[in-house]
């Protein structure tokens, strides 16, 4: 797992530095494959944030569309990158709520914290750590979101277990991720794109549902939203902790 993690870290470190310098050539910044990046946020949401936060949107969807955040809630974004989802979440939960972002990359954390200052968001906090070892107490958040990050983990089942651990009873999951058609083998998924390009490490629809169920989640749904490659899809993942 350490080799995969370091590969991902170095890739996103480079992207953070590119964004800081005013540009980003990554597919996840809005190029190929199609359906990734800041175009998945509408103009009103993009207008709320600094340009760097929008440029550093490396996701495959908009998890806030399904997170149904409420005033006063605590939300955690796994793999928060430049902070776009954390900052938007912080505004939705209001001054009595809190939004955490978790990322393992120093450069992304620095970019996100700078973006929070520029956006004048005071109820957001960015934590350094791994999504397989979330540095928050048990039953401490109401909602877990993530945007095209869980597919990068080499130990997704541990991630699912950590998500359940930090959620309060009744807490919910609203995740955007890349998911493979059930007909594709792991080798066929790898042929369609790289690990750091958000493709090769994707679970199938069935694997995602069964993995969340095995971690103790209920009301699990994995719904495709758009194609990103042959047999590969952006998807919205919902689940609830009983």
pLDDT of 188: 82
Helices (DSSP H) in 42-127: which residue ranges? 43-47, 51-55, 64-67, 84-93, 106-119
For the chain, which residues score pLDDT lower than 70?
1-61, 193-200
Task: List b or e across 222-238, with b for residues whose CB sees 16 or more CB atoms inside 10 angstroms.
Answer: beebeebbebbbbbbbb
Residue tagged 């989640």 (tokens): 217
Structural domains of the chain, with CATH: 2-240 (3.40.50.150)
Which are the contacts of 54, defined by CB distance < 8 A and separation ≥ 6? 38, 41, 46, 84
pLDDT of 4: 55
pLDDT of 146: 94
CB atoms within 10 A of CB 196: 21
Q: Output DSSP code: residue 157.
A: H
pLDDT of 8: 54
Helices (DSSP H) in the chain: which residue ranges? 2-20, 43-47, 51-55, 64-67, 84-93, 106-119, 156-166, 186-191, 205-214
pLDDT in tens, 83-127: 888 998 999 999 999 999 999 989 889 989 998 998 899 999 999
pLDDT of 158: 98
pLDDT of 5: 61
pLDDT of 38: 47
pLDDT in tens, 78-93: 999 888 889 989 999 9
């Amino acid at each position: 797992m350490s080799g995969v993690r370091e590969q991902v870290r170095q890739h996103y470190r480079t992207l953070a530095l590119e964004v800081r310098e005013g540009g980003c050539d990554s597919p996840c910044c809005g190029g190929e494959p199609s359906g990734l990046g800041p175009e998945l946020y509408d103009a009103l949401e993009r207008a709320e944030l600094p340009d760097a936060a929008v440029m550093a949107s490396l996701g495959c969807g908009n998890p806030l569309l399904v997170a149904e955040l409420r005033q006063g809630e605590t939300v955690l974004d796994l793999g928060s990158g430049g902070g776009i989802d954390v900052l938007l979440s912080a505004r939705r939960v209001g001054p009595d709520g809190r939004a955490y972002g978790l990322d393992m990359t120093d450069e992304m954390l620095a970019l996100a914290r700078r973006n929070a200052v520029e956006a004048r968001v005071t109820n957001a906090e960015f934590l350094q750590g791994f999504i397989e070892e979330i540095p928050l107490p048990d039953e401490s958040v109401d909602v877990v979101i993530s945007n095209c990050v869980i597919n990068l983990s080499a130990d997704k089942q541990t991630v699912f277990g950590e998500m359940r651990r930090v959620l309060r009873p009744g807490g919910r999951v609203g995740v955007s991720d890349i998911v493979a058609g059930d007909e594709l083998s792991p080798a066929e998924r790898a042929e369609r794109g790289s690990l750091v390009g958000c493709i090769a490490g994707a679970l199938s629809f069935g694997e995602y549902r069964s993995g969340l169920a095995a971690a103790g989640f209920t009301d699990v749904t994995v719904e495709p939203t758009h194609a990103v490659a042959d047999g590969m899809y952006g998807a919205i993942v919902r689940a609830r902790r009983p």
